[in-house]
Amino acid sequence: MFAAPVFSGTLFALAAGLMWGLVFVGPLLLPEYPAALQSFGRYLAFGLIALPLAWFDRATLRQLTRADWREALRLALVGNVVYYLFLASAIQRAGGPLPTMIIGTLPVVIAITAKARGHRAGTRREAPLRWRQMAPSLMLIALGIALVNQVELERLRADPGADLGRYALGALLAVGAVACWTWYPIRNAEWLRAHPDRSPRGWATAQGLATLPLALLGYALTWAWFAASGVDFAMPFGPRPWFFVTLMAAIGLLASWLGTLCWNEASQRLPPTIAGQLIVFETLSALAYAFVLRGHWPATPTLAGIVLLVAGVLWALRSGTGPEAAEAHPN
């Protein structure tokens, strides 16, 4: 029998994964919308959600210095706007499965990077990285991604109108998304550990507020670029305005805010090493949504690749890669 905190924590982690998986659905449901518009639209919604939250955290926000706000702006830019711009672009070009698998490596990539980065003042000193210990999990992850990639390539080759160059660019953009969200949690954790007197919730609200002007500026610049270059796209909300606004608001509320809230609840109830393993719920949810939208069950090699990826991530986390993997929730 599971202890009550473990059971409830697992349910919260499952709920977070189900909601985070929604961020992979938006680009598939809005293929005619540019990735920039989806990224700025999503975080415009999230920034607006953060405005009423700022009232409850106003005492904490007053404590932030100008340097703190600059750091919040950098984190919001890289970890929110640029990350989702890369991810949405990747999914539109390579489909759902491969970018999702690449993003699914984040817990391991973050843990490896954090340990290879070394000790920073004000942060926890990590155990030395043992590459021999990591080799089995990395091989499982690489093989899993290769299997899914092979299936997707065969599907593209069977389509006379497919563009392999576009698919390759999508895979490269997914790697860029991983790079953004490898930097973000490490830098964010370093700031929090260097400021133990600050409220993590207030710091999250500050980043939400910092996202709002970035999203507004990005949306306005995208609109201006469309007008100047003669792009035939109905602004401000595209050819399906109500669906676009509703979807962006839903993703902003469910994935960016409620999903993170559920994850925080799970993190309070579970040890970091267990919480880190449960991040795979996000990957599995996103893959499930992608294949539901395709309308068919994944091929056997794809299923085998998914199993290998999950096994590799779990192996890495159980072998002591580091509890910082529990912070790997890029939403």
Percent of the chain with pLDDT over 90: 34
pLDDT value for 1: 43
**Contact predicate 170/99, CB 8 Å:** yes
Torsions phi, psi of 314, nearest 5? -65, -40
pLDDT digits (tens, 9 = 90+) for 244-296: 999 999 998 898 888 877 877 887 777 665 666 677 788 888 888 988 998 88
> Per this entry, what is the length of the chain?
331
Q: Which segment, 2-11, 193-202, 207-216, is predicted with the most confidence on average?
A: 207-216
Rounded mean pLDDT of the chain? 84
pLDDT digits (tens, 9 = 90+) for 1-12: 446 777 788 888
| Whether the predicted pLDDT of 172 surpasses 70 | yes
Q: Which of 94, 96, 144 is nearest to 288 (CA)?
A: 96
pLDDT digits (tens, 9 = 90+) for 110-160: 777 877 776 555 455 555 556 677 778 778 888 988 888 888 888 888 877
Q: What is the DSSP string of 50-90?
A: HHHHHHHTHHHHHT--HHHHHHHHHHHIIIIIIHHHHHHHH
pLDDT value for 129: 58
pLDDT value for 329: 56
Confidence label for 222 from pLDDT (cuts 50, 70 and 90):
very high
pLDDT value for 200: 77
Q: Which of 310, 274, 272, 83 is nearest to 182 (CA)?
A: 83
CB atoms within 10 A of CB 193: 13
| DSSP structural state of residue 319 | T
**Contact predicate 33/226, CB 8 Å:** no
This prediction's pTM: 0.85
Q: Which segment, 33-37, 201-205, 297-301, is predicted with the most confidence on average?
A: 33-37
| Whether the predicted pLDDT of 181 surpasses 50 | yes
| Whether the predicted pLDDT of 301 surpasses 70 | yes
Average pLDDT over residues 150-177: 88
Q: Which segment, 179-188, 195-204, 276-285, is predicted with the most confidence on average?
A: 179-188
**Contact predicate 77/214, CB 8 Å:** yes
Confidence label for 96 from pLDDT (cuts 50, 70 and 90):
confident
In angstroms, the Cα distances linking 157 to 7, 154, 167, 310 are 45, 5, 11, 27
pLDDT value for 128: 56
Q: What is the DSSP string of 81-125?
A: IIHHHHHHHHHHHH-SHHHHHHHTTHHHHHHHHHHHH---TTSPP
